[in-house]
Structure 1
Amino acid sequence: MKTALFKPEELEELRRYDAMVDASPMTHEDWKALELVEDLLFPERVAVRKANHARYLRRKEELAARGKAYRESNREREAARKRAYYLANREQVLASQRARRKTG
């Protein structure tokens, strides 16, 4: 004879709890706990995640260096572009500056 693992009342309580958990947003602490549990359950994913993060950081540094080199080599061109934008959108820029001074 096969016995049920949970009583019907307990199953209903579990369903209500699952619905409540599904409806609530995940907090930062929830995500950190989930990451820790996944690290313990799937250690092979830790190495993959670390490699991906290292690749992300290298790419971020490369792009920052490329942007800095571009701005340095095209300083006059960038200044002319900013000046043209300012002149074309002078009213909006001044309004934005006034609003920033009022709030800041």
Structure 2
Amino acid sequence: MKKIAYFLSVMFLFTAFAPAAMAKDVKKEKSELTAEEQLRLEEINNRVEEIKALDFADMTKAERREVKSELKEMRAEAKAMGNGVYLSVGAIIIILLILILLT
């Protein structure tokens, strides 16, 4: 039974990391940002600098939460412009849980 569990966990591991390994081998040229995307990226950078300059001690909890969610949205948008390949943390956690539960 343990051999089957180890075999399945290794297979899940290879399935999770195989796309990332293949993506590293493929060298694709970075596409230049369009003028609109460059402008939006500059707006995001300016807004982040404004947020860094804010005094969080004077804010209420709801305002801080709102600023935090705004930063998360801008970060996701900036990453989407980068066209990168990422392995999610959730996938890694699920793989680890499967390994722990099967052993």
Common fold: TM-score over 0.5: no
**Max Rg structure:** 1
TM-score normalised by structure 2 residue count: 0.35
Higher helix content, 1 or 2: 1
